[in-house]
A and B are shown apart, each in its own frame.
Chain A
């Protein structure tokens, strides 16, 4: 069924179709309409779930952790400072290997206070261990939520589904709503490998010692470092698993095939603009304008940021003349995080492209197509790098 709705509603419908069993959330702009919609679904009985209103985001994640430990499909959503308020619990959820799914409507972080879009909130959480998926439109939001539940429960790692605040969360777009029966077939009920079971009492995530040791049954129990190594190995393997899940989804619903990056006119391109999120669709317009002037340029949107699909990215970018990375976030005191990650992925490739970094749109600063055009034109005609510091687009500094 085709409907026209807001991005937050697309996410809520995705959660409903995925039959989340426990939802705990605290409202924060621009995520609020998503949680409101979910509470409506629960209230009306359309979604059979426990909706637990909490007094903070830290508690929201704590509830999801508890529910997930008991074996329930748990969901929450947040933005910006709300995400930061749950950080301690984010680490816990992934260390405990719980398949929680969370939507983040991307927003800038205070101080100074802002409610508008950039991506500093989730990018600053890239090292936590959560899987991070990013969406470019409403269809990708609803599809990614459903795939996220499947991925999370397959690899036992929580997944963040991120989409730009306002630009996607509050705008209306047409999208296809998958049929419930098909979603049920794709995402059947599951029993986690480890869960709280009164028939089989267990301690979870109690203190681990620096070294391995015998447990009460005389079985050698792993230490902290072994458990963390296992998480890293699972995350790397999750890349392959996500390809499989994406293929399965494509077979069932006819959409997919770009689990890691979404390319536009990249095949014969000498120059490739790279970014995360809805900006990649805006950049398509710029690419079209430049193509009219015979510039061989394309754009690549990164759809999965953690685990980092370094091989797919190297494959897509090695041999290009110049890669231009646009970011709505920054690793302060250094460079854009995506830029640094792409550079490191390309380090071992024979044909290293030049690579440029632009920071833009922080705190909702409007991104003008002309600005993108100017930046790309400059990057395409500069035969060298600009040095390693990012350039800023659209800054209005008083001389």
Chain B
């Protein structure tokens, strides 16, 4: 009998930006952080980071200030929903946005 290595191929990956493909191309609404209202920026402390924690595509950095990777941000708006200070607003992609570049 040939000994086979069973179950050698499943869909398993590490959570991380780009795991779902080029999800940035899905985006219709773009999350924009108002840094003046952002807790870690205001307190200069590693605190809150709800956006980092809840982003399903792991595209928000846990840094001061938090930075969104628009290459893979799919625009779901979960970060805006979870931000306790309302610092994140969802802006229509069709509107030219230049500030956060």
Interface flags, B1-33, vs A, CB<8A=1, else 0: 110101111111111111111000000000000
Tell me, rounded to whole Å, the shortest Cβ–Cβ distance linking A94 to chain B: 11
Q: Is the CB of B14 within 8 A of A217?
A: yes
Contact B14 A202 (CB under 8 A): yes
Which residue of chain A is the closest to B7 with respect to CB atoms? Answer: A156
A204 to B8, CA, bound (A): 14
Do B7 and A234 touch (CB < 8 A)? Answer: yes
The stretch of A58-66, A78-86, A107-115, A238-246 in contact with B is: A238-246
A370→B98 CA distance, assembly (Å): 86
B2 neighbours in A (Cβ, 8 Å): 237, 240
When distances are taken between beta carbons in the complex, the residues of chain B under 8 Å from A216 are 13-19
**Residue among B4, B15, B18 with most chain A CB within 10 A:** B4
| CB–CB B7/A194 < 8 A | yes
Task: Assess A206 versus B11: contact at CB under 8 Å? Given A155-B6, A237-B6.
Answer: yes
A230 is contacted by which of B8, B20, B21 (Cβ under 8 Å)?
Answer: B8
Q: How far is the CA of A96 from the CA of B10 in the complex (A)?
A: 7
| Residues from chain B with Cβ under 8 Å of A193 in the complex | 6-7
Decide if the interface of chain B is mainly helix, strand, loop or mixed. Answer: loop
Contact for B10 among A155, A204, A209, A244, CB less than 8 A: A204
Query: What's the nearest-Cβ distance from chain A to residue B54, in Å?
Result: 15
The answer to whether B19 touches A203 (Cβ under 8 A) is yes
A208-B11 in contact given A216-B18, A240-B1 (Cβ < 8 Å): yes
B55 CB to closest chain A CB (Å) equals: 14
Q: Which residue of B lies closest to A217 (CB)?
A: B14
Chain A residues within CB distance 8 Å of chain B: 96-97, 154-156, 193-194, 201-209, 213, 215-217, 221-222, 226-227, 230, 234, 237, 240-241, 243-244
Listed A/B pairs (12) with beta-carbon separation below 8 Å: A154-B6, A156-B6, A193-B6, A205-B10, A205-B11, A207-B20, A208-B11, A226-B9, A227-B10, A234-B6, A237-B6, A241-B4
Q: Are B11 and A201 in contact (CB under 8 A)?
A: no
Q: Are A201 and B7 in contact (CB under 8 A)?
A: no
CA distance in complex: A215, B4 (Å)? 25
* Chain B residues in 8 Å Cβ range of A205: 10-12
Q: Which chain B residue shows the least CB distance to A213?
A: B21
Please tell me if the beta carbons of A194 and B12 are within 8 angstroms of each other in the complex.
yes
A201–B13 alpha-carbon span in the complex (Å): 9
Closest-CB distance, B72 to chain A (whole angstroms): 10
Q: How far is the CA of A230 from the CA of B8 in the complex (A)?
A: 8
Bound-complex Cα distance A344 to B78 (A): 53
Smallest CB separation, A244 vs chain B (Å): 6
A204 contact set on B, CB distance < 8 A? 10-12
Interface centre among B2, B6, B15 (most CB of A within 10 A): B6
CA distance A244 to B16 in the complex (A): 41
**What B residues does A227 contact at CB under 8 A?**
9-11
Residue numbers in B under 8 Å from A209 (CB-CB): 21
Residues of chain B contacted by A97 (CB below 8 angstroms): 7, 10
Q: Assuming the A-B contacts A207-B20, A216-B17, are A237 and B10 also in contact, with contact meaning beta carbons closer than 8 angstroms in the complex?
A: no
Q: Other than A97-B7, A204-B12, A206-B11, give 17 A-B pairs with Cβ distance below 8 A.
A: A155-B7, A194-B10, A201-B14, A202-B14, A203-B19, A204-B10, A205-B11, A206-B13, A206-B19, A213-B21, A216-B15, A221-B13, A226-B9, A234-B6, A240-B1, A241-B6, A243-B1
Residues of B44-85 at the interface with A, using a CB-CB cut-off of 8 Å, are none
CA A97 to CA B5, docked complex, whole Å: 13
Bound Cα distance A6, B1 (Å): 37
Residues of A close to B17: CB separation below 8 A: 216
Chain B residue contacts of A201, Cβ below 8 A = 14-15
Residues of chain A contacted by B13 (CB below 8 angstroms): 202-203, 206, 215-216, 221
A389 to chain B, nearest CB (A): 40
Residues from chain A with Cβ under 8 Å of B21 in the complex: 207, 209, 213
Q: Which residue of B lies closest to A218 (CB)?
A: B18
How distant is A58 from chain B, measured CB to nearest CB, in Å? 22
Q: Closest CB-CB distance, A249 to chain B, in whole Å?
A: 16
Which residue on B lies nearest to A230, using beta carbons?
Answer: B9
Q: Which 6 pairs from chain A and chain B are nearest by CB?
A: A216-B16, A156-B7, A230-B9, A237-B4, A215-B13, A97-B7
Residues of chain B with a CB closer than 8 A to A207's CB: 20-21
Task: Give the residue name and chain of the B residue nearest to A215 (CB).
Answer: B13
Name the contact of A203 in the complex, choosing from B4, B6, B7, B14 (C-beta under 8 A). Answer: B14
Residues of chain B within 8 A of A202, CB atoms compared: 12-15
- CB contacts (< 8 Å) of A215 on chain B: these are 13-14, 18-19
